[in-house]
Amino acid sequence: MATAIYILDNEFNQLISRSYRSGNLPDDIIDNFRLKLNYSNLNLLPPIFQINSINYLYKNDNDTSSTSVPNSCMKTNIMVLSCFLSNLIQILKNYFHVSHLNDELIKDNFVFLYELFDEVMDFGLPQITDYQILNEFIKIKKNLSLHSDNDLTFANTDIDNGINNKNKKIKKNDNSISWRPKGIFYKKNELFIDIVEEINLFINSDSKIINQFINGKILVKSYLSGMPILKLGLNEFLASINLKQQQEKQEQQEKQEDSFKQIKFDNINFHQCVELSTFTNNNIISFIPPDGKFKLLSYKINVKKKPLIKISNIKFRLKTKLNCKFLLIYLELSSFFKKNLVATNVEIIIPINIKKYKLNLINGTPRFKTQIGNVFFNLEKNSIIWKISSLNGNKVFKMISELPLLLINEEYNLDLNFKKVIQLKFEIKNFTYSGLKVDYLKIDEELLNYQSFPWVRYKSINDEYFFKYNDDDNDNDNNGNKVV
């Protein structure tokens, strides 16, 4: 609960204030605040502090500061007030169409600000902080400064006749859906749903999986008329969030390795349009979508699965031929997804430590041999790049590179700045690594009752997908070539 709100200029002088609690605050409340900030390092000063038993919470924005005085006699949720001040600053920016506030805007719009203060907070408790709702009911014209971002001219302050109807305003606020305006109409009503999963993997030089998880998201493009209600049902994988069902399934499937149904979400974030109560009761995601593009939900899953694509048998060898030294690099690329799937835009990046291996690219020419795709040496990245336009599932391919050398500098064997990791990039459409899919989708609009056209797509792509290699071994192969 806040006792009062103050807006100050860049020298911490009061521009406007609003008191929400009975009782007089000390006359020197802002003077003490100004002295505290003037004699403190603002970068080290916490956003909340106490002076003479009075708590202060403040936020800066360019030339202005918003300050709240929490009630020191009652338990106050500081995080709520902190978010409230951030939202208040953003509301003012949206109203004034500026990226930064200044003292002229505050001084020229005191009537509007007092009206806004009465709507966003009641008796010191935050109320409405959604700009879309506030903009529909606060009809006071703003005086926009000539220094605003849009270089707008001054307008006369005027009060709309509708702002006096307080009861009507409250009723509308309770029923408003801030994320979707009314009156939307499309000739063709379409809905596009994309389930995208970004796969993170790190395998060490001993071919052991160190880190493996999925960052997924459901993206929606909504071009629907009216106020439709959508119901989205996902497969058993999502339903396994229910702890009781999950425990029962785990007991039945303890002996089944590689089962996706045993995996649970480690984190889920929903868009504000989702009715969480409906999801909790029957595992159906019910929502009224915003118009256009938005992220319905995002999730993270820690998994222990066979990688979709794996790089193995990585070997570095030194070869001497006709008094010339060469660096040979061997590796195998294996795909473990289904044969009917295709990975596209596959790219393997193998960094070369040029401080250790001095390449002779003037008198010598790198040579490459592979069964699929194209291989070349990238001088800017100092890396061997293997590109494959399409890779079918359940396949194994090999690649050999031969790089001419001037010398080998063993002093850079322990170069800490060089990362011995091979990066893999890929994209697989019509497939999710977690097995997540849409089993049920219904679109209802009671008033218009139109025909809609929903589309669902799936895609799995790499995120941080790395394989560590080791070129510090000192073994020899059967031909006497040194393995490095």
Using one digit for the tens of pLDDT, what is the confidence trace for 428-466?
A: 999 999 999 998 899 999 999 999 999 999 999 999 999
Residue pLDDT, tens place only, 117-156: 888 888 888 888 888 778 777 766 667 654 444 433 333 3
Which pLDDT does position 481 carry in this prediction? 52
Round the average pLDDT of the chain to a whole number and report it. 81
Answer for the pair 22, 36: CB distance below 8 angstroms, yes or no. Answer: no
C-alpha 144/C-alpha 131 separation (Å) is: 18
Categorize the per-residue pLDDT at 416 as very low, low, confident or very high, splitting at 50, 70 and 90: low
User: Which residues have C-beta within 8 Å of that of residue 329, sequence separation ≥ 6?
Assistant: 314, 315, 316, 317, 350, 384, 399, 400, 401, 403
Which pLDDT does position 149 carry in this prediction? 46
Asked if pLDDT for residue 277 goes beyond 60, the answer is yes
Torsion angles phi and psi, residue 157, rounded to 5: -70, 130
Categorize the per-residue pLDDT at 157 as very low, low, confident or very high, splitting at 50, 70 and 90: very low
Answer for the pair 472, 356: CB distance below 8 angstroms, yes or no. Answer: no
- Name the 3-class secondary structure at 278: helix
Categorize the per-residue pLDDT at 278 as very low, low, confident or very high, splitting at 50, 70 and 90: confident
Which pLDDT does position 410 carry in this prediction? 61
Asked if pLDDT for residue 102 goes beyond 80, the answer is yes
C-alpha 396/C-alpha 324 separation (Å) is: 32
C-alpha 83/C-alpha 272 separation (Å) is: 16
pTM above 0.75, yes or no: no
Averaged over 168-184, what is the pLDDT? Answer: 64
Residue pLDDT, tens place only, 336-376: 999 999 999 999 999 998 888 888 888 888 999 999 999 99
Sequential DSSP letters for 61-75: ETTEEEEEEE-TTS-
Which pLDDT does position 396 carry in this prediction? 96
Percent of the chain past pLDDT 90, that is, above it, reads 39
Which pLDDT does position 161 carry in this prediction? 38
State the pairing for strand pair 452-468/189-203: parallel
Tell me which range, 170-179, 256-265, 366-375, 415-424, is most confidently predicted by mean pLDDT. 366-375
- Name the 3-class secondary structure at 25: coil
Averaged over 172-199, what is the pLDDT? Answer: 85
Q: Which residue has the higher pLDDT, 426 or 249?
A: 426
Residue pLDDT, tens place only, 237-248: 454 444 445 555
User: 317, 313, 321: which is closest to 481 by C-alpha?
Assistant: 317
Using left for φ > 0, alpha for ψ between -120 and 50, and beta otherwise, residue 62 falls in: left
Question: Could you give all domains of the chain from N- to C-terminal order, each with its CATH number?
Answer: 2-175 (3.30.450.60), 189-305+433-466 (2.60.40.1170), 309-429 (2.60.40.1170)
Tell me which range, 58-67, 138-147, 272-281, is most confidently predicted by mean pLDDT. 272-281
Report DSSP state, residue 141: P
